[in-house]
Amino acid sequence: MTINQKIAERIKELRKEHSLTAEKLAWHSDLSKSCVAYAENAQRDIKMSTVEAICKGFNISVAEFFSPFK
């Protein structure tokens, strides 16, 4: 599994935990819905700035986002 795939899985996991649609996550993250969809489906390389914005949308730190990665 690539790092992009791991990040995509983490986004899906957190979105389910927070009961957010992709559209609502995009709104909370100040990103477009397509940007969230690309990240969640690992269709493109995910920029760190996108991860930071998504963390903002979940109201978590980047460290919390990556905490399950070992």
Block residue for tokens 């690539």: 2
Are the C-beta atoms of residues 67 and 53 closer than 8 Å to each other? no
Q: CA-to-CA distance for 69 and 29, rounded, in angstroms? A: 22
Q: Does this model's pTM top 0.85? A: yes
Confidence of residue 1 (pLDDT cuts 50, 70, 90): confident
Q: CA-to-CA distance for 23 and 2, rounded, in angstroms? A: 25
CA angle 44, 58, 17 (to 5 degrees): 95
- The architecture in CATH of the region 3-66 reads Orthogonal Bundle (1.10)
Task: Break the chain into its structural domains and give their ranges.
Answer: 3-66
pLDDT in tens, 34-44: 999 999 999 88
Q: CA-to-CA distance for 16 and 49, rounded, in angstroms? A: 22
